[in-house]
A and B are shown apart, each in its own frame.
Chain A
Amino acid sequence: MFIYKPAVNLEWKRGCVMDFGTEFGKKLGDRKEYVALATVKAELYYEANLSIIKYLVNTANIPGVYVSLNKPYEAIKGEFEIRKIKKDMVIFIDAITKTSGGAGERTSDCLFIGNPENLSDISLAMDQAVIAVPSNEKFVFIDSQNTLLMYNSAVTVAKFIHFLSVKMRIWKVRGIIVSLEKESNKDLINELSQFCDIRMELGVEK
């Protein structure tokens, strides 16, 4: 089995970057239900993702759903093991493995969707997964909005995020939508911000 092991210099970098999980927790305070749009610089993106998940799962002890549109489940699983993130607390929805010809055999903790264009199946899977999580407090993590843009038009993505933000409020979850900070998608991010309760720029000291 292939397990992703980060390079030594990446491990060194990890020691230097800020703790996004704590930063994330501080910015949200005592809120228990929200829809947050987290923008992060490209070079810090993966670090930020894992840090937020680690904060939610290990520190806050909240189970949830991780929707991966970027990295295959196998790679994320490996990274979770390395960072000692409690994998059993998370249901994965992987919408990328099958696009690269991966087998994507259904496992107990991961459902593989055809591709990020398949928004109907993604929302159906999210609905089922969120309802299945046996806790009053749960999170939904979407990684990331930018990949959706590669497979769908900006209007479709905006509509989908709007739909998800409404669903997240109905589900009463902590919803986190991650987006890369890019000049090209500033308009879309501004538009998406109106659907979210909080917009946070991670890795920026204020």
Chain B
Amino acid sequence: MRELFLVIISLAAIMAGLFGLMTLVGRDIALFIGLTSLCFGITSLMFTMRARSVLSRGSSLRDYTTSFALCLVLILVFSLWDTMIDLFNWSGGWLYPKYIFITLAYFVFLYTSYRIFNLGKEFGFKDQAEKIRKAMK
């Protein structure tokens, strides 16, 4: 019941935030989407960093969280740059850094996926589960 209440309050807060943002930026849809993405990105990064701070130093999970946080940072920088382009009407050479940020983000995503693949291999016990099944017969 308490969880449901929290979800409703959170949804109401998000809706209020979006409405406030809409009032602030007016009819500029691109800017509205840019700022909304930034807000979600910052919140995600905050959750990730909080999780990282309580995980044990040197643990596989903490390393994975670090890689994931780096992905978020790069996506966030990309969104920030994209929003700045809309805000200040940048053109020409100013457009290229956003492509660099998004490419870097995908590289780090690749690395993070590789890490989760290794985590799966490391923490998976499928073979031993089969042995146990046979031993119990």
Interface residues of A (CB under 8 A from B): 61, 63, 86, 88-89, 91, 106, 108-109, 111, 114-115, 117-121, 124-125, 128-129, 132-135
**Cβ contact within 8 Å between B128 and A91:** yes
A-chain residues with CB within 8 Å of residue B58 when the two chains form the complex: 114-115, 117-118
**Cβ contact within 8 Å between B56 and A111:** no
Interface residues of B (CB under 8 A from A): 55-62, 121-129, 131-136
Distance in angstroms from B55 CB to nearest chain A CB is 4
**Cβ contact within 8 Å between A63 and B132:** yes
Question: Given A114-B59, A119-B56, A132-B128 in contact, is the A125-B123 Cβ separation under 8 Å?
Answer: yes
**Cβ contact within 8 Å between B59 and A109:** no
Given contacts A118-B57, A128-B124, 10 further A-B contacts (CB under 8 A): A63-B135, A86-B135, A89-B136, A91-B132, A111-B125, A114-B58, A118-B56, A124-B60, A128-B123, A133-B132
26 A-B pairs in the complex with CB atoms less than 8 angstroms apart: A61-B136, A63-B132, A63-B135, A88-B132, A88-B135, A89-B135, A106-B122, A108-B128, A109-B131, A111-B122, A111-B125, A117-B56, A118-B58, A118-B59, A119-B56, A119-B59, A120-B56, A120-B62, A124-B123, A125-B123, A128-B123, A132-B126, A132-B128, A133-B129, A134-B132, A134-B133
**Cβ contact within 8 Å between A132 and B129:** yes
**Minimal Cβ-Cβ distance residue in B for A128:** B123
A-chain residues with CB within 8 Å of residue B133 when the two chains form the complex: 134
Distance in angstroms from A147 CB to nearest chain B CB is 15
- Kindly name the residue among B56, B59, B136 whose own CB sees the greatest number of chain A CB atoms within 10 A: B56
B-chain residues with CB within 8 Å of residue A61 when the two chains form the complex: 136
- Sorted from nearest, which 8 A-B pairs have the closest CB atoms? A132-B125, A88-B135, A120-B59, A108-B127, A120-B56, A121-B59, A132-B129, A120-B55
**Cβ contact within 8 Å between B122 and A63:** no
**Cβ contact within 8 Å between B122 and A88:** no
